[in-house]
Structure 1
């Protein structure tokens, strides 16, 4: 019995939700996270599973300023005139129910009705402070928590291949890598591109089948030596050429994506992110601020490492750096501490260019936006330890 309770309290990953929904439904589902595609698809899957199990009536409650939490109590305890079972879809804006809401949710989780499913959704990721509250732990004990995370860069090709397979397609590895590159940070656009490619591939497949079918309408399988007939809805293969000819670049990046890539030492990807930020109209001074923060953090961690601390201990001691421990390790293996200290001087020079401040010699630096981006380019390439043989204009 103890094992069963612990299993019920485990957090469910979005990719494992479908298998869990085939079993007995939970009394409570809490879905939160900052990744909108996975969050909305998880909510849709729970609603569909609830309908399939007879929870035909759906009540939507929006928790906004002035929300009356008695509405939840009334819906939980009242009988429906139209259906024996119902689903209460509670939209929790901002991620915090407040004092009264927390008490109501704790009360509900104490004895959830057997003919009601409570589906709670938050459009943000609940932080450690929220997940430590009594109301959250009560909901987690009584039901299931689904937390969505942005797909990491190195995980995205695998996610694309898996999604293509679920949708009835076979996406080649090279095609998946290009899709990942062009849609990094924009999972919704990536999913739409997969759907589009499969739709185009299906249309081409049907056209080819119409040309190859005999009088009996059977389709000959090209890869089968005995010419066996195959299902027209067989897997659609998406190649690199298919992706290159139809997919636009929909990647979305932020200044800290640029920092992470530079710390990792990926020069080509770092330049692509920087140019994307420029094309989107990002402010150079904000990008420089995040890079400077990163360089200072590396210097601080490097100092502790030189003092005898391990990378784990050093990263934990600097606020905000524990999650970037792997990047720190790569950065310090590539460039020693004295090199990162020199990079602070480079960052200072770029800052003087942007602000039109006097240089160390006292001369006033004249600058343009092109100069600013050129300075940022040289800074991030230096962080990646990429050597420039001669000056090239930023383009």
Structure 2
């Protein structure tokens, strides 16, 4: 039987198979899948655990002997076989096929393998193990997959994230699930269980910083050029990620663009500003709308796309220089000072 990683937990709540074969290249999901099998085994009375690491000189008879022997201290056992290459070789293949034909009584065999491709799945040993147990293959996640994974994990931790909050976190970690898990743990620690929106994510990220991305946005909206430059430099010095700064600016510019289009369509500025929260931000938003029309804000959105390409290495510009350009244009300035370190700075 084959299961997806997200199906393993519900499976283990119902039963415990004699064999689990875990394979893939995504370390966190593999580690947590193995931990889930171990935890399920312990909950069902498995106390004895023996680990085998398959290296160049590994003697496969060790596994055969362990499978045939009974534990002196515990009736139920967990045998762990770590197979990093995913290829047991001729002798290993024979031993694993023999085990699959007659799994050891009161024993769970957990195999942690490397990547298994389509040809590996067709081998006799792999098919034999899958016929009596469970195969879980873990693949690196794309952005939508990362977002789905993060949403499930956040909900398990008691968080109720908005789609925007999930997108922001997913873009920050770029498929690194270890980093994603750390960010989620940080959110739980700082804010506790409950609703989480993009503002909450940004606040948590900037919690230890002297400057925050909201300070940058408000300074730019108010046309406070010098302060906006100082805050941007502070964010850079304090190690705030460029993708977070872009997220905050781009989100504000998109909102301004929608409001400017509404004004040009005939709505009064006061009507448009009525939806701005908190209300104390309405004056700076009004200033920004007065400076930038829908056309100008459309150009700023194109600037956001350019910064995004620079961050991803698809544009030759320096991301922080591009962010400075974007900030100054949002603030209504025309001169772009250089934020690059002085010559000779390491």
Q: Secondary structure at the match of 1:95?
A: coil
Aligned 1:120-135 pairs, distance under 5 A: 120-122=111-113, 124-135=114-125
CA distance change for structure 1 residues 236 and 112 in 2, over 3 Å: closer, same or farther?
A: same
1:37 to 1, 13, 28: 28
How far apart, in 2, do the equivalents of 1:242 and 1:90 lie?
43
Which position in structure 1 is the counterpart of 2:196?
238
- Residues 78-121 of structure 1 show CA distances to partners (whole Å, capped at 9, x for unaligned) of 11111001000110021111111111111111110121110000
Name which of 8, 21, 31 aligns with 2:12.
21
Give structure 2 stretches of 5+ with no counterpart. Answer: 206-239, 244-301, 318-335, 341-346
Query: Match of 2:106?
Result: 115
Check 1:271–1:146 CA distance in 2 against 1; reply closer, same or farther (3 A cut): farther
**Alpha-carbon distance in 1 for matches of 2:170, 2:242:** 10
8 A contact 1:34–1:148 mirrored in 2: yes
Instruction: Determine if contact 1:106/1:135 at 8 Å carries over to the other structure.
Output: yes
Aligned to 1:140: 130
Note if 1:189 corresponds to 2:147: no
- Stretches (4+) displaced over 4 A: 248-251, 266-271
> Which residue, out of 150, 153, 169, partners 2:143?
153
Give how far 1:274 is off. Answer: 5.3
Equivalent residue, structure 2, for 1:101: 92
1: distance between equivalents of 2:5 and 2:106?
A: 25
Question: In the TM superposition, what is the alpha-carbon distance from 1:237 to its structure 2 partner?
Answer: 1.9
How many residues were matched structurally? 230
Q: Distance in 2 between matches of 1:273 and 1:106?
A: 51
Q: Of residues 167, 181, 201 in structure 2, which corresponds to 1:177?
A: 167
Distance 1:29 1:239, change over 3 A: same
Rounded Cα–Cα distance in structure 1 between residues aligned with 2:305 and 2:36: 35
Map of 1:166 onto structure 2: 156
The Cα of 1:159 is off from its aligned counterpart by 2.5
For residues 1-395 of structure 1, what are the structure 2 equivalents within 5 Å?
9=1, 11-122=2-113, 124-202=114-192, 235-247=193-205, 249=241, 272=308, 275-277=311-313, 373=316
**RMSD between aligned alpha carbons?**
2.8
Change (3 A) 1:166 1:63: same
